[in-house]
Amino acid sequence: MEPKNNTQLSEFLLLGFSENQPQIRFLIFGLFLCMYLVTVFGNLFIIMAIIVDSYLHTPMYIFLSNLSFADICFTSTTVPQMLVNTQTQSKDIAYACCITQVYFLLLFSVLDVFLLTVMAYDRYVAICHPLHYMIIMNTRRCGLLILACWIISVLNSLLHSFLVLRLSFCTDVEIPHFYCELNQVVHQACSDTFLNDIVIYIAAMLLGVSPLSGILYSYSKIVSSIRAISSAQGKYKAFSTCASHLSVVSLFYCTLLGVYLSSAVTQNPHDTAMASLMYTVVTPMLNPFIYSLRNNDMKKALKIVLWQITRKRPNDLPS
């Protein structure tokens, strides 16, 4: 098969759910659509609650609002295309759309990782250095941490995207996912991918292992500080301040690890796609529930938002 230059390649084929039977196609479409809507509106409510309630204008909730925004964008990068392909029974995705999807998937997944890391640092400062919390986590440092997360994520995405653009692809490029996953796209190229593989491995070590190490270090210090508290009520109060974040971190890394383990042990595209579904759809959908159900301040803020949305103003009533 003669290689075709990537500027001439018009489309890729996504094989994620191509084996589904026609009679359950509408059920799958409805399920994914509901999950997507719950994800978008759930995270939007989190952002609105933080904006509306001035009590939540603290570093912890500022980081959370950015995490919710990243989850909305991350899910919106993959699910709408998946819904279109499921409904139309089409497996095609344009070459330009595929590269764009790779860019934004990398951007918001790495942004998720770093936001979870700075949130762990925020909890570490709050519990281990409570008297200096407002000094350490001031508005300027909070803004710089968020800016650093965005800059690192954007630069990483640009690097991988430009390296993919230099590759040449053959005809009939098939990707065993419902979205354009970077590693799968690179391995479908007809040209040499040595540089791409090296950069992928280095980025995975620096942007995956390093943040996880920072999270584990922060929580090791937090656990040590909580153990030093004498009263059981004090221990519970200290742990409750980071329980939601710890739950989200566990869910995020467990599903991410499951995706890569499943892709390593199985060659079945359907199984790989189902594992990826947990990481790209289920985790962002559950995050709002975790933060709203385990956080009393967030519950109060969400009630305020719902009340403001549903109430009728006097001037809106018919005369």
For 216-272, how does the pLDDT look when each residue is reduced to its tens digit (9 = 90+)?
A: 999 999 988 888 877 777 777 777 777 888 888 888 888 777 666 666 555 565 666
Confidence (pLDDT) at 272:
63
Residue 311 has pLDDT above 90, yes or no: no
In the chain, the domains with their CATH numbers are: 11-311 (1.20.1070.10)
Strand 11-14 relative to strand 174-175: parallel, antiparallel, unpaired? Answer: parallel
Kindly state the DSSP code that residue 318 receives in the 8-state scheme.
Answer: -
- Whether 317 has a pLDDT exceeding 60, the answer reads no
Predicted confidence at residue 3, as pLDDT, reads 44
Average pLDDT, integer, range 123-128: 91
pLDDT confidence of residue 176:
76
pLDDT at res. 69: 95
Q: Is the dihedral of CA 159, 162, 168, 174 positive or negative?
A: positive
Average pLDDT of the residues in 19-41: 81
CA 215 to chain centre: 16
State yes or no: pLDDT of 60 exceeds 80.
yes
> How far is the C-alpha of 307 from the C-alpha of 153, rounded, in Å?
36
Percentage with pLDDT > 70 across the chain: 85
294 confidence band (pLDDT: 50, 70, 90): low
**Across 108-112, average pLDDT:** 94
Angle between the 25-52 and 296-310 helix axes, to the nearest 10 degrees? Answer: 100
Structure tokens at 280: 């790209």
Amino acid at residue number 161 = S
Looking at 83-92, 144-153, 171-180, 295-304, which range is the least confident one? 295-304
Query: Mean pLDDT over residues 61-86, rounded?
Result: 91
Quickly list DSSP for 70-139.
HHHHHHHHHHHHHHHHHHHT--EEEHHHHHHHHHHHHHHHHHHHHHHHHHHHHHHHHHHSGGGHHHHT-H
**Average pLDDT of span 75-94:** 85
Position 9 scores a pLDDT of 59
* Cα of 30 vs its chain's centroid, Å: 22
* Longest CA–CA separation in the chain, Å: 74
Which structure tokens are listed for 40? 């978008």
What pLDDT sits at residue 307? 79
Which of these ranges, 138-147, 205-214, 233-242, 265-274, has the smallest mean pLDDT? 265-274
Residue 87 reports pLDDT greater than 60:
yes
List the strands of the sheet with 174-175, edge to edge.
92-94, 11-14, 174-175
Between residues 129 and 265, which one has the greater pLDDT? 129
- Model pLDDT, residue 319: 40
Handedness of CA 67, 71, 77, 78 (dihedral sign): positive
Nearest to 96 by CA among 187, 156, 178, 185: 185
More confident residue, 211 or 92: 211
**105 band by pLDDT with thresholds 50, 70 and 90:** very high
Lowest mean pLDDT among 64-73, 135-144, 182-191: 182-191
Arithmetic mean of pLDDT, 147-173: 91
12 - beta bridge partners? 93
Amino acid at 51: I
Q: Across all residues in the chain, what is the average pLDDT?
A: 82
- Cβ-count burial of 294 within 10 angstroms (0-12 exposed, 13-18 middle, 19+ buried)? middle
Q: What is the pLDDT of residue 314?
A: 44
| Rounded Cα gap, residues 25 and 29, in angstroms | 6
